[in-house]
Amino acid sequence: MGVLRGSHTDGGAALVVAAECYGTMPRVTSSRLLGRLDTFRGWPGWARATTYAVAALALLLVVVTVGAVVMVRRPLPETEGTLTVPGLGADVEVLRDARGVPQIYADDATDLFYAQGYVQAQDRFYDMDVRRHVTAGRLAELVGPAAVESDLTVRTLGWRRVAEREFDLLDPATRSYLESYSDGVNAWLRGRSVTAMSVEYTLLALGGLDYKPEQWTPVDSLAWLKAMAWDLRGNMADEVARTRLAVDRSPEQVDELYPRYPYGRHATVLPDATAAAPAPRATPAWATRSSGEQQDREGADAVAAVRDHLASVPALLGTGDGLGSNAWAVSGEHTVSGEPLLANDPHLGVSQPAVWYQTGLHCRSLGEDCPFDVSGFTFAGFPGVIVGHNRDIAWGMTNLDPDVTDLFLEKVEGKTYEYDGQQLPLVERDEEIRVEGEGTRLITVRSTRHGPLLSDVSRELSSVGANAEVGPDAPERGNGYGVALAWTALTPRPTADAVFALGRARDWDDFREAARDFAVPSQNLVYADREGNIGYQAPGDVPIRRSGRDGRYPAAGWDSRNDWTGRLVPFEQLPSRLNPAEGFVVSANQAATGPGYPFLLTTDWDHGYRSQRIRRLLEARIDAGAQLDVRAVQDIQTDTRNPMGPVLVPYLLRPLMTSEYYADGQRLLLDWDFDQAPDSAAAAYFEAVWRSLLRLTFHDELPASLWPDGGQRWVAVVSNLLRQPDSQWWDDSTTTGVIEDRDQILAEALEQARDELTRRLSVSPRQWSWGRLHRLELEHQTLGRGSAVARALLDRGPEPVGGGGTSVDATAWTAPAGYDVTTAPSMRMVVDLADLDASRWVLLGGASGHPASPHYTDQLGTWLAGRTLAWPFSREAVEQAAEDRLVLRPGG
């Protein structure tokens, strides 16, 4: 979203010039420059005037450049020496390593989290500020009208309102940690000018924004959990898509595009769970009880329009099929050290600054007043450690992805809605949205018993279905269909308690007790400890639906038989296992249990290509008698094998190409090992074929909003269709008098891919490489799509990468848009429970949010190379790695 005014481009350009030239430009003082003019005093007048003008311009350029350098570097934090910080009770030490990662040492928890707030603000305050504006529905205050739609949606959902209610539910200790963290952020803010906070504020000021950040509050931190839950909310996008498809397709055709989880081929997280025959799939309750096709289409249109407006909310963690994670733990019986190893790499959106923030929080003496000695990853704006380890246990997370949302179609009439034959009043509240440069907008948020009406976000939806012909079971609707959202995250829960409890946990029992409060988003928690145990726990609030409802389609809100029961899956019955017999546990968003599990978690699991590959690599080493070490685990994390390769390539080698030109591409697949290294020509050709195949097969049959992205679900879809050479999906509906079959489409895809790579890369396949197509760019979250100046200053890349969305090294891309990376491993970590100082980690980006900092992206090269960095934990190791030492000292 662009925010810079064109009239300020030159000033911004000076910032970029300064950033690029700083440290290499010769120092020329004004006295030296003017002194050199004496040489030219004897020249003609016009020449002297020209020379004076050139000199003046040169001097002006020097002044502007130096000034720009100062503005770019001014926000860089002090990381050495001593700072007096009012509010601390005693000295706090902040030791930073060569990558600028802070390890904080304090005597009590109050000072510890106070210092964490201060240090995070030093490195990432603009990032924190943007996130709190997004989660409060106040982004338009910063960036203007472009963010109004996002604010409308977030205000309708009421993220911050829920967070305000959650604060009162928290344990007193958690509330005190959040308050101390806020005090630390505000101590950093105190007396600091906006231009000293970040260069982004300087750029916004050049664009005309008059802004001063507010004080940080605990609710600002809590609201982040709502954004996290929103991006990881489950199958709502699939629910909307199925609704649109159901209007024109039979249930069987829809199911072909949403295959069941392959329980017979891909193991679940708990592979020995009792299996049973799959339950029949529910049909759309709202459609089967309506009056016919017209009404069905209106409902689908209403739901689809809501989807378009929900997409306006910035995806702070990322979106799409590539959003997922890998995590696994291996017991000591299979490791070199004899103690467990734990690995984790969450796959989130690619952006700058980095999604995660690395930190260590250390009490100098552990006790009731200071129970933390923990290190790992958190989010800028949230205290504690979300994922990592303490001195006793380690834990990783992947998205359980249960179905915790349902859309309800509501028959709205004026200020009422129908429910079981009665007209009930809508609950209303007013919201005020301030828009930078435009003033204030007032909206009214309306809710039914099921949740807020998302359809109110869009004015054009207010008349959907209002004038349609309807049957006797659908009375006159003054405002037509509304679409309400039921979502577990809209019920206040003390999830923040779980974050700090995990940091304090000492064993499996503590760990499970902490997980009990991890309500939303529901995560797979993978566990290991220094006593040799490994385990798995699925926490979270998962609704129990009534019989016959599986959450795959929106429900008819006017019929109480479609309501949730009001009960949640009991924590004691959520999937859990300590020390599985296999000696390892793998979680990569696949099904957690078999279909015999007594509760419905979701019908839209990831199909398990990544998890199955990880299992096979582990089993191969174990079966060969090899023991794993940290390096072996890292090798698995960066595995680039494409699971579709061995399935599709045999079919692609069948067609006889019409010329040597086209055969050149096909021959690359003859000896391809299915790995997708950046330098692989075969991988480049295969992915171009895959993209063409999806386009030729489905674009003629589906609306553009539902075109295949090429992710794991489409691997399953096409794998099934390959066994059906005459399926109607192969036929191109745009050709008349011709019915295409599988082999014709495959041959055409091979030819189109060859032509595409010739245009994009080279006529010679020897010049092709996957990395030339598949590139990673870290784009600034708010200003990266603005002016060229902002992009040059704030963005990084593009860089060639390997892997793909269904590889373990999950660098996803979206087929309709191209090959650029959309989600990727946002960090990688491997914890060695035998020697915590031997653990490794790396961030996609860097610790700092300041583009002038050497730590802005100084971990990117390591990440691209598939390597990791030392992760010191003990005081001795931290001291040895430290390059900067800052003491925060209490003062008045």
pLDDT attached to residue 9: 34
Could you give the CA distance from residue 410 to residue 303 in angstroms, rounded to a whole number?
11
* Residue that the structure tokens 């963290």 belong to: 181
pLDDT at 146: 86
Long-range CB contacts (< 8 A, 24+ apart) of 500-507? 500/173, 500/174, 500/177, 500/384, 502/385, 502/395, 503/361, 503/372, 503/374, 503/384, 503/385, 503/390, 504/371, 504/372, 504/390, 505/390, 505/392, 505/393, 506/392, 506/393, 507/392, 507/393, 507/531, 507/533
Given a contact cutoff of 8 angstroms between Cβ atoms, the answer to whether 347 and 589 are in contact is no
Residue 320 pLDDT class (50, 70, 90 cuts):
low
Side-chain-side CA neighbours of 87 within 13 Å: the count stands at 20
User: Does residue 190 surpass a pLDDT of 70?
Assistant: yes
The binding site for Ca(2+) comprises: 239, 403, 406
Phi, psi of 843 (to 5 degrees): -115, 145
pLDDT for the residue numbered 788: 81
Domain 81-229+352-393+836-889 in CATH 1.10.439.10? The answer is yes
Predicted local confidence at residue 27, as pLDDT: 31
Predicted local distance difference test score (pLDDT) of residue 305: 67
Residue 12: the pLDDT is 38
Q: Which helix (H) or strand (E) holds 528?
A: strand 523-529
pLDDT band at 473 (very low <50, low <70, confident <90, very high): very low
- Residue 342's closest CA among 352, 328, 331? 328
Task: Please report the pLDDT score of residue 525 as a whole number.
Answer: 98
Q: Which helix (H) or strand (E) holds 669?
A: none
Tell me how far the alpha carbon of residue 8 is from its chain's centroid.
Answer: 32
Q: What angle do CA 53, 57, 62 make, to 5 degrees?
A: 150
Determine what percent of the chain is predicted with pLDDT higher than 70.
Answer: 84
Question: What would the pLDDT profile of 594-649 be if each residue is shown by its tens digit?
Answer: 988 999 999 999 999 999 999 999 999 999 999 999 999 999 999 999 999 999 99
Q: Can you tell me the distance from the alpha carbon of 735 to that of 463, in angstroms, rounded to the nearest whole number?
A: 37
Residue with the bigger pLDDT between 32 and 437: it is: 437
Average pLDDT value for residue range 682-696: 98
**What average pLDDT does the segment 317-329 reach?**
83
Give residue for tokens 């080493």.
621
Q: How confident is the model at residue 35 (pLDDT cuts 50, 70, 90)?
A: very low
User: Tell me, what's the pLDDT at 323?
Assistant: 82
Full-model pTM = 0.89
Number of H helices, E strands in the chain: 27, 31
Q: Is 464 helix (H, G, I), strand (E, B) or coil?
A: coil
The CATH homologous superfamily to which domain 645-822 belongs is Aminohydrolase, alpha-helical knob region (1.10.1400.10)
Listed in order, the ranges of the chain carrying CATH 1.10.439.10 are 81-229+352-393+836-889
Q: For the residues of 843-871, what is the DSSP string, one character each?
A: ESS-S---TTSTTSSTTHHHHHTT--EE-
Q: Given a cut of 80, is residue 40 above it in pLDDT?
A: no
Q: What is the DSSP pairing of strand 827-832 with strand 840-843?
A: antiparallel
pLDDT tops 50 at residue 200: yes
The answer to whether residue 316 scores a pLDDT higher than 60 is yes
Q: Give yes or no for a cis peptide into 798 (omega within 30° of 0).
A: yes
8 A C-beta contact, residue 534 and residue 329 = yes
Task: Give the model confidence (pLDDT) of 566-605 as tens digits.
Answer: 999 999 999 999 999 999 999 999 999 998 899 999 999 9
Per-residue pLDDT band for 215 (boundaries 50, 70, 90) equals: very high
767-813 pLDDT, tens digit per residue, is 999 999 999 999 998 886 667 888 889 999 999 999 999 999 999 99
H/E element holding 214?
Answer: none
CA–CA separation, 526 vs 390, rounded Å? Answer: 14
> CB-side exposure of 335: number of CA atoms within 13 Å?
24
Which amino acid makes up residue 780?
H
Q: According to CATH, where is 1.10.1400.10 located in the chain?
A: 645-822
Determine the Cα–Cα distance for residues 287 and 295; give it in Å rounded to an integer: 8
Residues 6+ apart with CB under 8 A from 491: 162, 541
Give a three-class secondary structure readout of 388-421: EEECCEEEEEEECCCCCEEEEEEEEECCEEEECC
pLDDT value at position 313? 74
Once rounded to an integer, what is the mean pLDDT over residues 710-739?
A: 96
Q: Is the per-residue pLDDT at 276 higher than 60?
A: no
- When pLDDT is averaged across residues 220-247 and rounded to a whole number, the result is 88
Q: What is the mean pLDDT of the chain?
A: 87
The mean pLDDT of 262-284, rounded to a whole number, is 70
In contact, 416 and 398? CB cutoff 8 Å = no
Position 504 pLDDT exceeds 70: yes
Residue 271 confidence (pLDDT): 85
What is the dihedral sign for C-alpha 62, 63, 68, 69? positive
Read off the pLDDT of each residue in 49-73 and give the average, rounded to a whole number.
59
Binding residues are 239, 403, 406
Q: Per-residue confidence at 59, pLDDT binned at 50, 70, 90?
A: low
Q: How far apart are CA 445 and CA 153, in angstroms?
A: 10
The predicted pLDDT at position 16 comes to: 37
Residues annotated catalytic, as ranges = 325
764: which residues sit within 8 A by CB, 6+ positions away? Answer: none
